[in-house]
Amino acid sequence: MKKRMTTLILSGILSLAMLAGCGNAQDGGSTSGQGSAGSSPQEAAGSADSQETAGTGASEGSETLTVWCWDPAYNINALKIAESIYQKDHPDFRLEIIETNGEEINTKMATATTSGVFDVLPDILLFDDSGFQSSVTSYPEVFADLTDYGFNYEEFSPGKVGFSTVDGRHYGIPFDSGTAIACYRKDILEQAGYTIADFTDITWNEWMEKAKVVLEKTGCPLLNGLSSYNQMTIMMQSAGGSFFDKDGNPNLVDNEILREVVEVYTEMVKEGVYTEETGWDTYIGGMNTGRIAGAMNGCWIMASLQAAEEQSGLWEITNLPKLDGIASATNYASQGGSSWAVTSQCSNPQLAVDFFKATFGGSMELYEQILETGAISTWIPAADSPKYEEPVAFFNNQPVFSLITTYSASVPECYVGVYFRNARSDVANAITNIIYSGGDIDSELQAAQDTLIFEMENK
């Protein structure tokens, strides 16, 4: 049982598909780091090619590293820029990038583990944060332990680093940010007598009172979402909360943080200041049409907001409300993002780590260039880049990239669990029953915990 619990302990996010910049529509629809929870059209198109190139690690002595990852415009583009930067001092270095979607990566890891044949693996893999720890605990033979290679993890957000840390050991290299932000229409806030400052560094109780005023005076709910999935996980993570205890056991019934989250979320919906949507299009459409006055999600949500070009200058961002009465509560969380892993098959892990040290873990040039594709760094020094500090017209000339990178440094580290997605779904069902069927919190959380235990014991 102890071995089983060790396997259950950790999982990347909430990545979160939380998820990466990286989840499917239910998880937030981020385009930055799609994982196994749902493959984008680009991923599906690219997977056929990767079937032909199974992916072998670099031969010993070679300065070529093979990589499996997805999304040419985002992840692969970032790798190519990193390659060109590293080649300035290492002209013989090459990356062989094989476009492979997250689901296929998981399938091939499982096959390699079952067969005991690991030479089909590449040198480097990409994972959405919400599934990273789960993959390490499920397929430990696949991952190289990078703890003693001298990578400077202290220069990254602790919350980000935590996604790829298992039992105190590091198995990943942090990449893009899923730092959560609150975005509001300044013109709608002004109609209610507020500014963005009124929603900065506040608690959820304060937010609730102001949201009611906004709704009364403008007719606009402040937030919307796809059921409680993303909103619940953002609120949980902002206080360092988990669905599990430190031993990996389900902890839903006597969970102070979760109970506060459920109470706040339930009140938001019942008061009409938060609208539950039926699909991704209506979720984004609510913001783009002005039906909803705000957004709260991973920072990748900014790309969807900017699709409404006529709203340029009308949006501003700030940090999150924090939970009342919770000692660990903060105004910061993450929703999405992805990280790199070096595989056990890598014949030159020192080269792989050195490449990452010089690029994703130490190149201002890299992070300035990939910013153009919306890839925001979790490398804290990037916040000092003049490019990160440039005002962005759409967001009323705020230096949003610098703000977000600063926020990321304060995201709490969270213990997620291999069965995070099961737990989240079970709690979401409980919340639905509370809101729409008159269920009470105690009985619904108990039912959710019973369901989760059954799922864990029978998977």
The per-residue pLDDT for range 88-121, each reduced to its tens digit, is 999 999 999 999 988 899 899 999 999 999 999 9
One domain for residues 256 and 348? no
Q: What is the pLDDT of residue 241?
A: 95
One domain for residues 169 and 26? yes
Grade residue 60 by pLDDT with cuts at 50, 70 and 90. low
Is residue 416, in this structure, part of any structural domain at all?
A: no
Instruction: State the total domains in the chain.
Output: 2
Q: Which residue range is the domain that position 283 belongs to?
A: 180-332+430-457
Q: What is the pLDDT of residue 111?
A: 93
Q: What is the pLDDT of residue 189?
A: 98
Is residue 189, in this structure, part of any structural domain at all?
A: yes
Number of Cβ within 10 Å of residue 252's Cβ equals 24
Say whether pLDDT at 185 is over 60.
yes
Q: What is the pLDDT of residue 62?
A: 74
One domain for residues 357 and 268? no
One domain for residues 189 and 75? no
Nearest in space to 39 (alpha carbons), one of 54, 56, 20: 20
One domain for residues 374 and 434? no
Is residue 128, in this structure, part of any structural domain at all?
A: yes
Please give the share of the chain, as a percent, with pLDDT higher than 90: 67
Can you give the CATH number for the domain in which 317 is found? 3.40.190.10
Is residue 302, in this structure, part of any structural domain at all?
A: yes
One domain for residues 253 and 341? no
Is residue 72, in this structure, part of any structural domain at all?
A: yes
Is residue 417, in this structure, part of any structural domain at all?
A: no
Q: What is the pLDDT of residue 24?
A: 33
Is residue 297, in this structure, part of any structural domain at all?
A: yes
Higher pLDDT residue, 433 or 5? 433
Grade residue 304 by pLDDT with cuts at 50, 70 and 90. confident
For 145-149, 175-179, 209-213, 230-234, which range has the lowest pLDDT when averaged over its residues? 175-179
Q: Per-residue pLDDT tens for 206-230?
A: 999 999 999 999 999 999 998 898 8
Say whether pLDDT at 19 is over 60.
no
Cβ burial of 249 (10 Å; 0-12, 13-18, 19+) is: middle
Mean pLDDT score, 421-436: 94
One domain for residues 174 and 200? no
Q: Per-residue pLDDT tens for 322-356?
A: 999 999 999 999 887 899 999 999 989 999 999 99
On average, the pLDDT of the chain sits at 86
- pTM value is 0.75
One domain for residues 366 and 223? no
Grade residue 25 by pLDDT with cuts at 50, 70 and 90. very low
Q: What is the pLDDT of residue 377?
A: 84
Mean pLDDT score, 232-260: 95
One domain for residues 396 and 438? no
Q: What is the pLDDT of residue 428?
A: 96
Number of Cβ within 10 Å of residue 56's Cβ equals 15
One domain for residues 125 and 185? no
Q: What is the pLDDT of residue 459?
A: 72
One domain for residues 392 and 351? yes
Say whether pLDDT at 54 is over 50.
no
One domain for residues 382 and 444? no
Write a three-state SS string for the chain.
CHHHHHHHCCCCCCCCCCCECECCCCCCCCCCCCCCCCCCHHHHHHHHHHHHCCCCCCCCCCCEEEEEECCHHHHHHHHHHHHHHHCCCCCCCEEEEEECCHHHHHHHHHHHHHHCCCCCCCCEEEEEHHHHHHHHHHCHHHECCCHHHCCCHHHECHHHHHCCEECCEECCEECECCEEEEEEEHHHHHHCCCCHHHHCCCEHHHHHHHHHHHHHHHCCCCEEECCCHHHHHHHHHHCCCCCECCCCCECCCCCHHHHHHHHHHHHHHHCCCEEECCCHHHHHHHHHCCCCCEEEEECCHHHHHCCCHHHCCCEEEECCCECCCCCCCCCCCECCCEEEEEECCCCCHHHHHHHHHHCCCCCHHHHHHHHHHCCCECEHHHHHCCCCCCCEHHHCCECHHHHHHHHHCCCCCCCCCCCHHHHHHHHHHHHHHHHHCCCCHHHHHHHHHHHHHHHHHCC
Is residue 420, in this structure, part of any structural domain at all?
A: no
Task: Out of 34-48, 182-196, 382-396, give the one with best mean pLDDT.
Answer: 182-196
